[in-house]
Amino acid sequence: MPAKAAPKRSKSVLKRARQAKALTLKNRSAKSTLKTLAKNVEAEVAGKNTDAAKSALNKAVSALDTAARKKIIHRNTAARRVAQLTKLVK
């Protein structure tokens, strides 16, 4: 008996696969940036540099809010991380 031929995939399935790959890369990059910004805040707090820590916190909060608005992370996750970072700086 001959082997079964692979089923045909519709154009929409192929397009969704391309979109999923692109969005995955974009979201991964955005999440990586969020982690880096949070680490920057923690490093400034550890170095006892209050002005730089507040500046880094401001950038991190802005990025977290933007990520939540774009649904890269959940809004409650963003709120929790903002609270944790703010608590560190104060």
Q: d(Cα 16, Cα 18) in Å, to the nearest integer? A: 5
Residue 6: band (very low, low, confident or very high) from pLDDT cuts 50, 70, 90: confident
Neighbours of 31 (CB within 10 A): 13
List, for residues 20-40, the tens digit of each pLDDT value: 999 999 999 999 999 999 999
Per the model's pLDDT, the better-predicted residue between 5 and 32 turns out to be 32
pTM reported for the whole predicted model: 0.81
Averaged pLDDT, 42-51: 94
**Other C-beta atoms lying within 10 Å of the C-beta of residue 72:** 21
Radius of gyration of the chain (CA): 20
Does residue 86 contact residue 64 with C-beta atoms inside 8 Å? no
Tokens of 16: 């969704």
Computed over every residue of the chain, the mean pLDDT equals 94
CATH no., domain 24-89: 1.20.58.110
Instruction: Break the chain into its structural domains and give their ranges.
Output: 24-89
What pLDDT is stored for residue 1 in this prediction?
65
